[in-house]
C-alpha cells in the first residue's frame, strides 16, 4: 500500500459522509469530498479537515452520471497520483407504505441509490490501486424490515447484491469490497419529519438504548478503509445490536 492513501468520499459534505471524510483525514488519508449540489457545505468540510491538519479538496458530481463520476476519478488521479479508498455514502431516502408510494419517488431513489452505486463502483474497480478498499453504504432496514421503508430497503438490497458479487469479481486484485449498513443514526436525513416520541422509541431499539452517531459509523468505515484487510465481501451491520 502507498504511504499516503487517497480516499474519495461521495456525499462527503454532510451527515455521515462528512464525519467519514473527517475521520479518514484524521487517519492520515488525503480526502476528496464529493458533493451533489451544495458547494458551500463541501468547502466547509474541506476547511474543517485542513484546519485539523489534514489534506482535502472538493469535487462536484452527480453520482448517477457516468461522465461526471469519471471526471471525479480522473481529477483525483491527476491531483494526487492514484486512488486507494472509495467510500460511497451518497444516497436518498423517501419513506412511504408500498401501496402509497409515488413511483416518481421510487425512480428518484433507484437512480441515486442503485444506479449511483453501480456507476461509482464501476469507476472504483477500474481505478483502485492494489491494497485498496471499496466501501458501499447499505442499511440495517433490509434486516430489521420496518414498515414504510419498502422502496428504500429495495434499493439497498441491490447495493448488498452488488457488493457481495463485486468482491468476488476482484479476485487477485488485492482490493476489498464491503458495505456498511447503519441502523437508526442521528443525522438530518434520519431525523427529518420524525416527532420526538418516534425518535425516543427508535433509540430504544438497540440494546445500548441510544441512536447511533455518525462517528460510530465512521469508526467502522475507518477500520474497513485501513487495517481490515481480511474482511471482504461482507455487509457489516453497524447498529448497536438492533435485530
Catalytic residue annotation: 152
Backbone dihedral angles phi then psi of residue 39, each to the nearest 5 degrees: -65, -30
Instruction: Give the integer Cα–Cα distance in Å for 84 and 124.
Output: 9
Contact in structure between 237 and 217 (CB atoms under 8 Å): no
Listing DSSP states for 106-173 in one string gives: HHHHIIIIIIHHHHHHHHHHHHEEEEEEEEEE--THHHH--TT-HHHHHHHHHHHHHHHHHHHHTTTS
Quick one: cell of 25? 483525514
Instruction: Give the integer Cα–Cα distance in Å for 103 and 185.
Output: 26
Cβ partners under 8 Å of residue 211, min gap 6: 184, 185, 186, 190, 199, 202, 203
DSSP E strands in 23-120: the ranges are: 30-35, 56-60, 83-88
Backbone dihedral angles phi then psi of residue 58, each to the nearest 5 degrees: -115, 150
Contact in structure between 88 and 63 (CB atoms under 8 Å): yes
Amino acid at each position: 500500500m502507498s504511504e499516503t492513501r487517497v480516499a474519495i468520499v461521495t456525499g462527503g459534505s454532510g451527515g455521515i459522509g462528512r464525519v467519514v471524510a473527517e475521520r479518514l483525514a484524521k487517519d492520515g488519508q488525503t480526502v476528496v469530498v464529493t458533493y451533489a449540489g451544495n458547494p458551500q457545505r463541501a468547502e466547509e468540510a474541506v476547511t474543517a479537515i485542513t484546519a485539523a491538519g489534514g489534506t482535502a479538496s472538493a469535487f462536484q458530481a452527480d453520482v448517477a452520471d457516468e461522465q461526471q463520476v469519471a471526471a471525479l476519478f480522473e481529477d483525483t488521479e491527476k491531483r494526487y497520483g492514484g486512488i486507494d479508498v472509495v467510500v460511497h455514502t451518497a444516497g436518498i431516502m423517501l419513506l412511504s407504505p408500498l401501496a402509497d408510494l409515488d413511483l416518481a419517488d421510487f425512480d428518484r431513489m433507484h437512480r441515486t441509490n442503485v444506479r449511483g452505486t453501480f456507476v461509482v463502483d464501476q469507476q472504483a474497480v477500474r481505478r483502485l490501486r492494489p491494497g485498496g478498499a471499496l466501501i458501499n453504504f447499505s442499511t440495517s432496514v433490509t434486516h430489521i424490515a420496518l414498515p414504510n421503508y419498502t422502496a428504500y430497503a429495495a434499493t439497498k438490497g441491490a447495493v448488498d447484491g452488488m457488493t457481495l458479487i463485486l468482491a468476488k469479481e476482484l479476485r487477485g486484485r488485492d482490493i476489498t469490497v464491503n458495505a456498511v449498513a447503519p441502523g437508526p443514526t442521528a443525522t438530518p436525513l434520519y431525523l427529518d419529519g420524525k416527532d420526538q416520541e418516534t425518535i425516543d422509541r427508535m433509540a430504544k431499539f438497540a440494546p445500548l438504548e441510544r441512536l447511533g452517531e455518525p462517528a460510530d459509523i465512521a469508526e467502522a468505515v475507518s477500520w474497513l478503509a485501513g487495517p481490515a484487510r481480511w474482511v471482504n465481501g461482507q455487509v457489516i451491520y453497524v447498529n448497536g445490536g438492533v435485530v
